[in-house]
């Protein structure tokens, strides 16, 4: 693209890429001096020039101006980057039917359900915390909500690949950092708001305001879909110009869940849509998946998909690995893997585990808490497990530069009556839990789902994923070597 197509009165020079990371080699690039949480791009202009930048966008006075380089001073670099990224990548979001999902829990599940139901008739991409997928392409995830340049670049790739729609997980941090400011959304979904990301936002009010801004920025042609059962549900959309549609268990919801039945292998319920009722059956389990599915149904139906088609396609949805995934390798007890890492998410999984576990049997949980994030919730996590579980094994979960044992000890401050172990190595912790299980017990492996990485002090490291480890341990140790003794690292 020519520079004068991005900035009026700029020379007619070809810009091959736009960039906000001075370390990347980008020939003939336009560099944006973005201020991040730790670094300020203004300090690395020379590095960007050495790596190929021929023009620089900045908001502060620079120490040095190099001859032959074009400089554009603006009031807000991020606002300008949003406008330029949208232009540079051909306003890709306007060529897609865009679904954005935000909330503490359920974003990934809802986005994937919408993608799966739409795909047979309308090629749909997905950008989320688990992966980036469109057509036959499957890429590793970047951030839950990618940065501005990456996001617009991916959307453009989707358009070029023939996609007609896209689903996007919209995080509160992403909204706060203006990553979706220049993305045009047709449908925006709110799931719930619970204690999370307070290390970044500081207070629940700030967290709420970040989520709310996503809906405030919608135009009058968009549709805002909100969970009326959540205390923040109606507040979230009260200032939105978009058309508001509600869902939930409440009879006042436009899409109202009635007479639901939760089973070990699926869920059935009646969904009242305005004045008409529809029977829904699905292979998804648990009450919160019922809510996630309903949110997806609302978005699909409001976008024009007939309810009869939705009814048929949600009967057998693809099992998302590491999301309420029941694993059966021939063992005589339940094993459930889930990515739950918030207090609300954990509560819902524990409630479901209670519903499927006979009263004389145990719930054994493997869980931890991430390092360098929201330390306040650690004791709450311990307290919650203490209420529901019969055995707790505390282990690592993206410890970053904190000690896994110290994190576990902070969680343990919330444990009063339940026996617990601290086994820092996650593989060993999972093995111990599975070897402790008796017939009809339920073993929960929580926090990582099927993520193939572990955040440690040296950065992101490769990790097998909980699902793979559970299957391996069941085959290798529990089923073949039943009864083998195993040494506890520490017991209280």
Q: Which residues are annotated as a binding site?
A: 22, 144-145, 171, 177, 179
Strand, coil or helix: what is 441? coil
> What's the angle, vertex CA 460, arms to CA 458 and CA 466, rounded to 5?
125
Strand, coil or helix: what is 172? helix
* DSSP letters spanning 95-111: GSEEEEEESSS-HHHHH
Strand, coil or helix: what is 117? helix
Cβ(176)–Cβ(210) below 8 Å:
yes
Non-local CB neighbours of 58 within 8 Å, separated by 6+ positions: 33, 41, 42, 45, 71, 72, 73, 74, 77
* DSSP letters spanning 296-351: HHHHHHHTT--HHHHHHHTTTPPPPTTSSEE--SS-SSEEEEE---SHHHHHHHHH
Q: How far is Cα 228 from Cα 166, in angstroms, rounded to an integer?
A: 25
44 burial level (CB within 10 Å; 0-12, 13-18, 19+)? middle
Q: How far is Cα 309 from Cα 301, in angstroms, rounded to an integer?
A: 10
């Amino acid at each position: 693209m020519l520079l004068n197509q991005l900035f009026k009165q700029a020379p007619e020079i070809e810009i091959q890429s736009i960039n906000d990371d001075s370390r990347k080699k980008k020939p003939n690039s336009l560099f944006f001096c973005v201020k991040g949480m730790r670094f300020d791009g203004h300090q690395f202009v020379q590095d960007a020039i050495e790596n190929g930048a021929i023009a620089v966008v900045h908001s502060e006075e620079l120490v040095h101006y190099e001859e032959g380089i074009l400089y554009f001073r603006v009031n807000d670099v991020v606002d300008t980057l949003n406008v330029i990224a949208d232009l540079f990548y051909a306003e890709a979001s306007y060529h897609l039917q865009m679904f954005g999902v935000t909330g503490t829990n359920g974003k990934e599940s809802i986005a994937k359900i919408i993608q799966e139901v739409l795909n047979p008739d309308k090629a749909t991409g997905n950008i989320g915390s688990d992966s980036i997928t469109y057509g036959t392409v499957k890429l590793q995830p970047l951030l839950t909500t990618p940065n501005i340049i990456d996001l617009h670049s991916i959307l453009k790739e989707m358009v070029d690949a023939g996609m007609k729609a896209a689903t996007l997980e919209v995080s509160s941090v992403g909204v706060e950092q203006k990553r979706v400011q220049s993305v045009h959304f047709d449908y925006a979904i709110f799931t719930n708001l619970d204690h999370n990301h307070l290390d970044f936002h500081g207070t629940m009010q700030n967290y709420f305001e970040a989520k709310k801004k996503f809906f405030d920025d919608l135009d009058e042609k968009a549709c805002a879909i909100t969970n009326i059962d959540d205390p923040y549900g109606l507040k979230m959309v009260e200032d939105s110009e978009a058309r508001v549609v509600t869902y939930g268990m409440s009879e006042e919801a436009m899409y109202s869940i009635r007479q639901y039945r939760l089973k070990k292998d699926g869920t059935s319920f009646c969904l009242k849509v305005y004045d008409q009722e529809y029977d829904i059956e699905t292979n998804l389990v648990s009450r919160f998946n019922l809510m996630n599915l309903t949110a997806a149904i609302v978005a699909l139906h409001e976008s024009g998909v007939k309810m009869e088609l939705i009814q048929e396609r949600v009967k057998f949805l693809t099992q998302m690995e590491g999301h309420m995934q029941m694993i059966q390798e021939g063992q005589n007890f339940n094993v459930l893997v889930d990515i739950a890492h918030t207090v609300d998410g954990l509560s819902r999984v524990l409630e479901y585990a209670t519903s499927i576990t006979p009263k004389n049997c145990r719930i054994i949980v493997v869980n931890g808490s991430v390092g360098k994030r929201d330390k306040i919730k650690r004791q709450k996590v311990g307290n919650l497990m203490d209420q529901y579980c019969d055995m707790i094994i505390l282990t690592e979960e993206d410890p970053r530069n904190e000690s896994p044992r110290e994190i576990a000890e902070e969680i343990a401050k919330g444990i009063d009556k339940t026996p617990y172990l601290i086994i820092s190595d996650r593989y060993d912790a999972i093995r111990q839990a599975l070897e402790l299980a008796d017939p009809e017990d339920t073993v929960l492996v929580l926090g990582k789902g099927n993520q193939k990485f572990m955040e440690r002090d040296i950065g992101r490291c490769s990790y097998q994923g909980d699902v793979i480890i559970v299957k391996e341990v069941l085959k290798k140790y529990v089923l073949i070597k039943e009864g083998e003794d195993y040494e506890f690292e520490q017991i209280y």
